[in-house]
Chains A and B, each alone.
Chain A
Amino acid sequence: MRLRGLYLLTLLLVALPFIFPDNYYVTVVGVTAAVHAILAMSLNLLMGYAGQISLGHAAFFGMGAYASALLTTRWDWPPLLAMLFGLIFTAVVAYLISRPILRLKGHYLAMATLGFGIIVNIILVQAGEYTGGPDGLSDIPVLALFGWEIDSDLRWYGVMMAAVLLVLWLNLNLIHSRMGRALRALHTSEFAAETMGINTTATKSTIFVTSAVIAAAAGSLFAHQQSFVSPGSFSFFFSIELVTMVVLGGLASTYGAIFGAIVITFLPELLVVFEDYEVMIFGAILMLTMIFLPQGIYVVVEQRLLRWWQKCWLQSGESGGAT
């Protein structure tokens, strides 16, 4: 029951490359959508469930990506070890900033996270000696898992989708647990959560770190998949794009975050003519969703479908009873 959506998504993701073999939208855009889905799910933990806004999530994504890129190209670390180091490094940084930053609420928290995101981006650009500056780092080695090299689009599709499903599974488990309920509780009333014995400061900090580490893992995969990183991929605008994905799908809905990530990834592909207006279109989407569908498109559609389904089911049940 809890994992029904996960099973359905698994089937769909396995079937797609068979239905559309060698399709650009499946194995190339699809892989980007997968990275976005992981990021949106991680941000949703923080923003949707715990209610702590972050406008600097791209920074953690960037930290994971640059850790892998730097360590493998400059110091020839094995990719998996570099990835692990990136995750630990991100966790430490996230923990250190979480304590002071999460004391803030609302707009102030938004400003602080935004500032953090911009600072990280500036470091990536300015520390050119190590990071390659605005040009970034290229020739990142191929990622290999136990001797199996991930060197084709189709293989990347398999790895990324497996990562999406893994993160989805972790996410669903977390939400339906003691910690997940604590997050949703402190979202509505920190007072009440505290009097139930929840250490809200520690809980917020824990979820901030968890969310950052998942984003860093996505960054590391992204770096190997692209074999190239530059600061542009981890800018403030990308943070906003992530927020748009989460809001569009519906705050506090894990599948909504995936849905949002897919829409925001495919939209520019379909609207190539409007390329120059991309940021404007995303802004408009964010605004319109907040005004007209504050619960998020995915959540609203899901509720409607559920109600329609129940109605049909009830009617067929009644007619069944009459005969």
Chain B
Amino acid sequence: MALLEVRGLSKAFGGVTAISNLSFRVDSGVVYAVIGPNGAGKTTLFNMLSGIYQADSGEIHFKQQRITALAPYQIAKAGISRTFQNLQIFFNMSVHENVLVGCHLRTASGVVEAMLRLSRVRKEERQVHYWADESLEFCGLSAYRNEAADALPYGVLKRLEIARALAVEPQLLMMDEPAAGLNDTESVEMIHLIRRIRDRGTTVLLVEHNMDLIMNVSDRLLVLDYGSRLAEGSCEEIQQNPKVIAAYLGGEVRTGV
């Protein structure tokens, strides 16, 4: 069953087409990777899926529900969470607090209740502390729990973004270049982490340049070029696809350029 379905999606910035008439579907329980050369529209696609950009035309369906015009917080509510290519950590908070923010949707108390610290708030606080610790442990961050986020190395912050996104309990986790800037050891750890995320039942949508990581974790691949679909299929299919090889290695015939 398709968890996410994109139909005829288009987006232009001024005269530049970033995404044109793109369609694809992501099944539940897989790692689905979107690859393509720089400027192919991968990050634009992510920003559209998470509601930061609005589509010019086309539709996005999630769990058979149309989410095309929703605001980012409503999309989070629907069950999609994400990480960012350029870190968007809350640097004024501790590691633990960052993940606590991720639990926002799983609790409901408002300002007045919080100020009076009614019993529901105290109960919720105990719950979110437990959930946050769980998420930190899953991502191997328990040791950094009380550290200030602005004092941590890059690799840890990358995992913190994942821990925070998982605390939202999404059905679909979108990861924008999770391995960018990581060294080899950290990349291998990232591969394991992504597999474990899939194994616990969270569907992963991935944008990445590191081909090692892609081929290691992905169940299906979508190749973008100039904002449209160049190919789609399993890792083997993509590796043998002549159009993909041409786009990546610079083929002799390149239509439309």
Q: Do the two chains bind? A: yes
Assuming the contacts A181-B93, A188-B92, A252-B92, asked whether A195 and B72 have C-beta atoms less than 8 A apart, the reply is yes
CB 8 Å contact bits of A58-74 with B (1 = contact, 0 = none): 00000000000000000
- Does residue A193 face the partner (Cβ distance < 8 Å to B)? yes
Cross-chain contact of B92 among A187, A191, A196, A199 (Cβ < 8 A): A187
A177 to B117 CA separation, bound complex (whole angstroms): 9
CB distance from B225 to the nearest CB of A (A): 27
Q: Please state if B88 and A170 are interface contacts (CB–CB under 8 Å).
A: no
| A residues 55-111 in Cβ contact with B at 8 Å | none
| B residues 76-94 in Cβ contact with A at 8 Å | 76-77, 81-82, 84, 88-93
A252 to B125 CA separation, bound complex (whole angstroms): 21
A178 to B115 CA separation, bound complex (whole angstroms): 11
Q: Please state if B114 and A193 are interface contacts (CB–CB under 8 Å).
A: no
Q: Please state if A195 and B110 are interface contacts (CB–CB under 8 Å).
A: no
Q: Please state if A195 and B81 are interface contacts (CB–CB under 8 Å).
A: yes
Q: Please state if A196 and B105 are interface contacts (CB–CB under 8 Å).
A: yes
Contacts of A182 in B (CB 8 A): 101, 104
CB distance from A7 to the nearest CB of B (A): 15
7 A-B pairs in the complex with CB atoms less than 8 angstroms apart: A185-B93, A194-B52, A195-B72, A195-B75, A196-B164, A197-B104, A197-B105
Q: Please state if A174 and B92 are interface contacts (CB–CB under 8 Å).
A: no
Cross-chain contact of B76 among A179, A189, A195, A206 (Cβ < 8 A): A195
Q: Please state if A194 and B72 are interface contacts (CB–CB under 8 Å).
A: yes
Q: Please state if B73 and A198 are interface contacts (CB–CB under 8 Å).
A: yes
Q: Please state if A191 and B168 are interface contacts (CB–CB under 8 Å).
A: no
- Does residue A192 face the partner (Cβ distance < 8 Å to B)? yes
A180 to B109 CA separation, bound complex (whole angstroms): 11
- Does residue B107 face the partner (Cβ distance < 8 Å to A)? yes
- Does residue A200 face the partner (Cβ distance < 8 Å to B)? yes
Q: Please state if B124 and A178 are interface contacts (CB–CB under 8 Å).
A: yes
CB distance from B181 to the nearest CB of A (A): 18
CB distance from A34 to the nearest CB of B (A): 19
CB distance from B166 to the nearest CB of A (A): 11
Q: Please state if B72 and A180 are interface contacts (CB–CB under 8 Å).
A: no
- Does residue A165 face the partner (Cβ distance < 8 Å to B)? no
Contacts of B115 in A (CB 8 A): 170-171, 173-174, 210
CB distance from B122 to the nearest CB of A (A): 10
CB distance from B151 to the nearest CB of A (A): 13
Q: Please state if A194 and B101 are interface contacts (CB–CB under 8 Å).
A: no
Q: Other than the known A179-B110, A197-B76, what 19 A-B pairs have Cβ atoms closer than 8 Å?
A: A170-B115, A173-B116, A174-B115, A178-B128, A181-B100, A184-B90, A187-B92, A189-B88, A189-B90, A191-B88, A192-B84, A194-B72, A195-B50, A196-B76, A196-B101, A196-B164, A197-B73, A210-B111, A210-B115
Contacts of B76 in A (CB 8 A): 194-197
CB distance from A209 to the nearest CB of B (A): 9
Residue in B76, B105, B109 whose Cβ sees the most chain A Cβ within 10 Å? B76
Interface residues of A (CB under 8 A from B): 170-171, 173-174, 176-182, 184-185, 187-189, 191-200, 206-207, 210, 252
A198 to B50 CA separation, bound complex (whole angstroms): 13
A199 to B71 CA separation, bound complex (whole angstroms): 9
Residue in B92, B102, B125 whose Cβ sees the most chain A Cβ within 10 Å? B92
Contacts of B116 in A (CB 8 A): 170, 173
Q: Please state if A177 and B92 are interface contacts (CB–CB under 8 Å).
A: no
Q: Please state if B104 and A196 are interface contacts (CB–CB under 8 Å).
A: yes
A285 to B224 CA separation, bound complex (whole angstroms): 56
Q: Please state if A174 and B93 are interface contacts (CB–CB under 8 Å).
A: no
Residue of B nearest to A173 (CB): B117
- Does residue B156 face the partner (Cβ distance < 8 Å to A)? no
CB distance from B97 to the nearest CB of A (A): 6
Contacts of B82 in A (CB 8 A): 195
Contacts of B77 in A (CB 8 A): 197
- Does residue B182 face the partner (Cβ distance < 8 Å to A)? no
A210 to B112 CA separation, bound complex (whole angstroms): 9
A180 to B111 CA separation, bound complex (whole angstroms): 8
A194 to B50 CA separation, bound complex (whole angstroms): 9
Q: Please state if A181 and B92 are interface contacts (CB–CB under 8 Å).
A: no
- Does residue B22 face the partner (Cβ distance < 8 Å to A)? no
- Does residue B6 face the partner (Cβ distance < 8 Å to A)? no
Q: Please state if B91 and A188 are interface contacts (CB–CB under 8 Å).
A: yes
A109 to B80 CA separation, bound complex (whole angstroms): 32
Contacts of A200 in B (CB 8 A): 73
Q: Which 8 A-B pairs have the closest CB atoms?
A: A177-B114, A197-B76, A192-B88, A194-B72, A197-B105, A170-B115, A189-B88, A173-B117
Q: Please state if A192 and B90 are interface contacts (CB–CB under 8 Å).
A: yes
A196 to B165 CA separation, bound complex (whole angstroms): 7
CB distance from B167 to the nearest CB of A (A): 8
Q: Please state if A197 and B168 are interface contacts (CB–CB under 8 Å).
A: yes
Q: Please state if B92 and A178 are interface contacts (CB–CB under 8 Å).
A: no
